[in-house]
Structure 1
Amino acid sequence: MNQPFIVALDFSSKQEVNEFLRLFSDTPLFVKVGMELYYQEGPAMIEELKAQGHRIFLDLKLHDIPNTVKQAMKGLARLGVDLVNVHAAGGTQMMKAALEGLEAGTASGVRRPMCIAVTQLTSTSEQMLRAELWIAHSMEETVVHYASLAKESGLDGVVCSAKEVPLIREHLGEAFVTVTPGIRFANEAKGDQVRVVTPAEARKLGTNFIVIGRSITRASDPYAAYERLQREWNREE
């Protein structure tokens, strides 16, 4: 999966998705299907995106008892997506069960989907971490700890802010995959995100993949915005 850009299809219907993707008919994308779209359109949406040649990050953030997550992952593996995720807060037994389910549901001779764990959402601030989630450690300490649990459990990587990527590299090595949402162009509002960086900053911080949604999908010219993303990512400092 060499393409570093994951475009978040944060739409509510197949019609909206198709209208957007029509602009990229000659450009297969790496797309993220989250709860908003999957809960409306279901597995048929995945099948359609695959038929169009797009790679898929199915972003459902599973977090439940180990056996439930295992059985859910067994079903998701059969969809043939490229990347799935869980919440690291579910613990090591849950994360190990997720992998067991993926392996059990993946057809023989086929590579199982990559599995990553959410550390802390990029909408979570340091103040929220302490006041609402009652986590006494700093954001950086918490993210590294959760990432360590994910690696211990055999997962391929984590979802985190790009700002935390250097620490994860330091503690867990270069091979551990980082997927970073909270990406905005320099002239854009943060919206509901808190730990935000630009595409160029994300590359400089060393992340493997960036997830970008509204900056592309809500742009007046989405294709031009995608080209801007490529230019900013590839720009030499």
Structure 2
Amino acid sequence: MSSELNERVMVALDVEDRAKALEIAQQLQRSGCWVKVGLELYSICGTEIIRELKAMGFRVFLDLKLHDIPNTVKRTVAVLANCGADLLTIHCSGGFQMMAESVEVAKASSTSENGLKLVGITVLTSLDEKRLHEELGVERNLKEQVLMLAELGKKAGLAGVVASPQEARDLRAQSGPDFLLITPGIRPAGSETQDQARTMTPREAIESGSSYIVVGRPITRAANPREALEHLWD
């Protein structure tokens, strides 16, 4: 597998402890892939795990899905601006003010030119049309909701959004070539979908317009994570 393709993979280190996360990371070193730190690992390790992963040469996607009143989120972004992460997620459903103020704080607080960039969560990939309507009371169809939130996020200055690969083609057409599209719910052909409701294979996602794909268990729970990464596109 070429390093160019590896660079478009974000491996989700959604594991139960620091030692396990670093063990997987060590096996993936110098492969070119990103690593994703989510709520579980961050809650255990805090910002120290980010520094350790950066020291190993990884680009880090910090997936905390911040969602609160604007002042709380922007203050949190200010705290995280120099933790070493390259990307941080916030919820688009927090509204324009929350996103716009957080973007400005990230720019002002970062000490390097290539500082922390923010990307927005649109609709979680665990949700389907039925749950969106019946449980959350959203009247728009799922694709319309994703596109609306992405447009709001772009206007607020976000670097990109997170959405399922099934919306990637429409998002790319709406947002242009430079807007980052990060797509979870990626499953290699023949693997189980687990708790993901809107999935695609890696190749399908990239062909649909994804900038980066997020892959967790098919790699992290494999007997050989490095080998699983290398065969991701088979």
- TM-score, normalised relative to structure 2: 0.94
Q: Deviations over 1:174-233 (max 9, x none)?
A: 22110000000111111000000000111111110000000100112211110012x44x
Match for residue 92 of structure 1 among 50, 74, 96: 96
Q: CA deviation at 1:26?
A: 4.1
- Counterparts of 1:135-214 in structure 2 under 5 Å? 135-214=138-217
Q: Which residue of 1 aligns with 2:8?
A: 4
Q: What SS does the aligned partner of 1:32 have?
A: strand
* 2:130 aligned partner, one-letter code: Q
Q: Which residue of 1 aligns with 2:57?
A: 53
Q: What SS does the aligned partner of 1:6 have?
A: strand
8 Å Cα contact 2:82-2:116 kept in structure 1: no
* Identical amino acids, percent of aligned pairs: 42
In 2, Cα distance between the equivalents of 1:204 and 1:87? 26
Residue 215 (str. 1) matches residue 218 (str. 2): yes
8 Å Cα contact 1:74-1:103 kept in structure 2: no
Q: CA deviation at 1:137?
A: 0.7
Q: CA deviation at 1:25?
A: 3.9
In 2, Cα distance between the equivalents of 1:83 and 1:135? 28
In 2, Cα distance between the equivalents of 1:171 and 1:15? 42
Q: CA deviation at 1:29?
A: 3.2
Match for residue 226 of structure 1 among 225, 229, 233: 229
Q: Deviations over 1:55-74 (max 9, x none)?
A: 10000011111111111001
Q: Aligned pair in 2 of structure 1 residues 26, 208: CA closer, same or farther (>3 Å)?
A: closer
In 2, Cα distance between the equivalents of 1:69 and 1:45? 21
Residue 120 (str. 1) matches residue 123 (str. 2): yes
In 1, Cα distance between the equivalents of 2:61 and 2:94? 20
Q: What SS does the aligned partner of 1:96 have?
A: helix
Match for residue 26 of structure 2 among 14, 22, 25: 22
Number of aligned residue pairs: 229
Q: Deviations over 1:37-88 (max 9, x none)?
A: 0000111111111111111000001111111111100111111211111000
Q: Aligned pair in 2 of structure 1 residues 48, 162: CA closer, same or farther (>3 Å)?
A: same
Q: CA deviation at 1:143?
A: 0.3
In 2, Cα distance between the equivalents of 1:25 and 1:201? 26
Q: CA deviation at 1:32?
A: 0.3
Deviates more, 1:110-119 or 1:84-93: 110-119
* Structure 1 unmatched runs, 5+: 233-237
In 1, Cα distance between the equivalents of 2:91 and 2:28? 31
Q: What SS does the aligned partner of 1:188 have?
A: coil
* Structure 2 unmatched runs, 5+: none
Structure 1 residue runs of 4 or more that deviate by more than 4 Å after TM superposition: none
Q: Which residue of 2 aligns with 1:235?
A: none
Match for residue 82 of structure 2 among 78, 90, 109: 78
* 2:117 aligned partner, one-letter code: M
Residue 32 (str. 1) matches residue 21 (str. 2): no
8 Å Cα contact 2:82-2:115 kept in structure 1: no
8 Å Cα contact 1:38-1:45 kept in structure 2: yes
